[in-house]
Amino acid sequence: MSITNNLLQIKSQLPNQVTLIAVSKTKPIADLMEVYNAGQRIFGENKIQEMTDKWEQLPKDIQWHMIGHVQTNKIKYMAAYVSLIHGVDSLKLLEEINKQAIKHHRIIDCLLQVYIAKEESKFGLDEQDLIEILNSEEFKQLKNIKIVGLMGMATFTEHQNQIKKEFQNLKRIFDKLQNQPATYNLQPTTLSMGMSGDYKLAIESGSTMVRIGSSIFGTR
Interface with ligand PLP (CB under 6 A): 23, 25, 46, 67-68, 153, 195-197, 211-215
**Residue nearer to ligand PLP on the CB measure, 105 or 220:** 220
Nearer CB in complex with ligand PLP: 19/196: 196
Q: What distances in angstroms separate CA 15 from CA 11, 22, 152, 210, one per listed residue?
A: 8, 16, 20, 11
Whole-number Å distance between alpha carbons of 138 and 146: 14
Residue nearest ligand PLP (C-beta atom): 213
Comparing CB distances to ligand PLP, the nearer of 87 and 188 is 87
Q: Which one, of 86, 55, 88, 52, lies nearest residue 72 by Cα?
A: 88
Q: What is the spatial distance between Cα 73 and Cα 91, in angstroms, rounded to a whole number?
A: 14
- 142 or 153: CB nearest ligand PLP: 153
CA distance 9 to 216: 9
Q: Considering beta carbons, is residue 197 or 206 the nearer one to ligand PLP? A: 197
Q: How far is the CB of 189 from ligand PLP (least distance, A)?
A: 19
Report which DSSP code applies to 144: S
Minimal distance in Å, beta carbon 217 to ligand PLP?
8
CB of 153 to ligand PLP, least distance (A): 6
Measured from the CB atom, is 4 or 131 closer to ligand PLP? 4
CB of 135: closest distance to ligand PLP in angstroms? 27
Query: Under 8 Å CB-to-CB from 16, ≥6 apart: which residues?
Result: none
Task: Write down the least CB distance from residue 46 to ligand PLP, Å.
Answer: 5
CB 208 within 8 A of CB 174: no
CB 25, min distance to ligand PLP, A? 6
